[in-house]
Amino acid sequence: MIDHELQATTEPGRRFVAMAEEHAKDFATRADQHDREASFPFENIKALQESGFLAAMIPEEFGGLGVESRLDQMIGMSRLARGCASSAIAANMHIAATGVMSRMWRWREGQPPQITSAVEALMRAIGARQLITCAPGTEAGTDLQSPMTEGVPDGDHYIVNGRKMFGTLSPAAQLMFVTFRIPDGDGYQSSMGIIPSGAPGVTNKNNWDAMGMRASGSHDIVFENVRIPAASVLPPRPWGVFDGSGADMGVALNGSLVACFLGIAEAARNLAIEMTGRRKGPKGMRLADRAPIQQLIAEIEVELMAGRAVVERAGRISDEYFDQYRLGEAPNDVSFALMKEQQCMKWTLQRNAISIVDKAMTATGGSAYMNGSPFSRLYRDVRAGPFMQPFAPYEALEFIGKFTLGLDPAPDR
């Protein structure tokens, strides 16, 4: 069967995708074991670093692959996720951040020089395969715009206290990008600082124990009186406000994360095709030869085609946007329109991916329910999708609906 899978649109993108396929093949051999043990795949992350995969978005001049297309980034991440979704979302935590860095570098004209040089330093280290970063942003009971983690100025330093969840990739990261609020009169401002994982007061709770994505190392991180220089803190922005600049950052950071779930769907579908072509019933008939199985496989294909299509479309629109605007500088409506496309993509893709895994299990039969089957992992991994930031599915609808109707799209939460 000829399969029109997603194709990268640039030369660096094609190299990135090819590397993803190689790594995926390797990771697949260990995915079930890491899932079973909830162990962090240090060897996978190391392999990604050594091959240059983790530096894919870094300009070639700094040692990276120079991937600029966000669509290509999404496609590559989806390919990697076919082998091990946990490893893919872990890698994405770092790669998405490097995508932001290289954008800041490309648009450095007019940017405060200390930011530019900080970005350059990070990119050099990453390009030299010496640095891995993560960005634990989520906290319990609040949203991304309203961190409760607090940074209090203390001379030319900040003292940071708080707790982050879902610190994906944290076991392997040397640096963390941490959002916090800064008390300001009766209210707060919001900012982000760079905190070394080994800084005094930082504790990785090593407590990730979820239903799926078990090898992603998404631990809680606790900050107790962590002291960081003001120079490594971004200029403050309003706290608790969802505006266009939050929207495009959300797209920048989460587009390729969402795309990983396409890879899960493709893995499930490929398994289903392979198994139904092999397994036989009591009278020797292959599953693939049974008409109802053919209908089921077709429904999978229909959903997969739509999943690929929305990734392609959202990725292309995202590429057009970021070719035109510096991060955070587009008019609100333009950023919101971009975010809307991404949320529509996420909705369709996650729903279809979940359905594809479900139907693939149905097609192959009861063995799919066993922990010895990769389907068990895929079924649990794929359900992480709808929880991905910045919006729960019902919030996504709220955002999309309000924006479409010309209202302030910030969810009422």
User: Which has the closest alpha carbon to 96: 121, 81, 74?
Assistant: 74
405 binds its own copies per the rule CB under 8 A: yes
Phi-psi region of 254 (alpha: psi -120 to 50; beta: other; left: phi over 0): alpha
Work out which of 12, 212, 246, 390 binds its own copies, going by CB under 8 A.
212
337 binds its own copies per the rule CB under 8 A: yes
Q: How far apart are CA 182 and CA 165, in angstroms?
A: 20
283 binds its own copies per the rule CB under 8 A: yes
373: tokens are: 């089957």
361 binds its own copies per the rule CB under 8 A: yes
297 binds its own copies per the rule CB under 8 A: yes
163 binds its own copies per the rule CB under 8 A: no
> 286 - beta bridge partners?
280
310 binds its own copies per the rule CB under 8 A: yes
**HSE (side-chain half, CA atoms, 13 Å) at 301:** 11
Work out which of 288, 356, 360, 382 binds its own copies, going by CB under 8 A.
288
Q: How many residues bind its own copies (CB under 8 A)?
A: 98
- Read off the DSSP letter of residue 54: G
Work out which of 289, 323, 329, 408 binds its own copies, going by CB under 8 A.
289
Work out which of 203, 323, 371, 408 binds its own copies, going by CB under 8 A.
371
Q: Which residues contact 351 (CB under 8 A, 6 or more apart)?
A: none
Work out which of 118, 159, 234, 306 binds its own copies, going by CB under 8 A.
306
Site for its own copies in 21-60 (CB under 8 A): none
Work out which of 109, 156, 186, 412 binds its own copies, going by CB under 8 A.
412
Q: Is the Cβ of residue 4 or residue 235 nearer to its own copies in the bound state?
A: 4
Work out which of 108, 124, 205, 290 binds its own copies, going by CB under 8 A.
290
186 binds its own copies per the rule CB under 8 A: no
Q: How far apart are CA 263 and CA 393, in angstroms?
A: 20
Q: Is the Cβ of residue 156 or residue 209 nearer to its own copies in the bound state?
A: 209
Work out which of 43, 302, 329, 408 binds its own copies, going by CB under 8 A.
302
Site for its own copies in 312-331 (CB under 8 A): 312-314, 317
Site for its own copies in 230-269 (CB under 8 A): 240
SS (H, E, C) 19-30: HHHHHHHHHHHH
CA angle 184, 391, 208 (to 5 degrees): 85
Long-range contacts of 389-398 (CB under 8 A, 24+ apart): 389/137, 389/138, 389/144, 389/250, 389/253, 389/254, 390/143, 390/144, 390/246, 390/250, 390/254, 391/343, 391/346, 393/347, 393/350, 396/343, 396/346, 396/347, 397/347
The interface region with its own copies, picked from 61-69, 70-78, 92-100, 204-212 by CB under 8 A, is: 204-212
Helix, strand, or coil here: 182?
strand
Work out which of 46, 124, 163, 279 binds its own copies, going by CB under 8 A.
279
Q: Which residues contact 315 (CB under 8 A, 6 or more apart)?
A: 69, 70, 71, 72, 73, 74, 75, 255, 259
The interface region with its own copies, picked from 24-32, 47-55, 223-231, 280-288 by CB under 8 A, is: 280-288
Q: Is the Cβ of residue 56 or residue 353 nearer to its own copies in the bound state?
A: 353
176: tokens are: 């963390």
Site for its own copies in 95-154 (CB under 8 A): 138, 140-143, 145-146
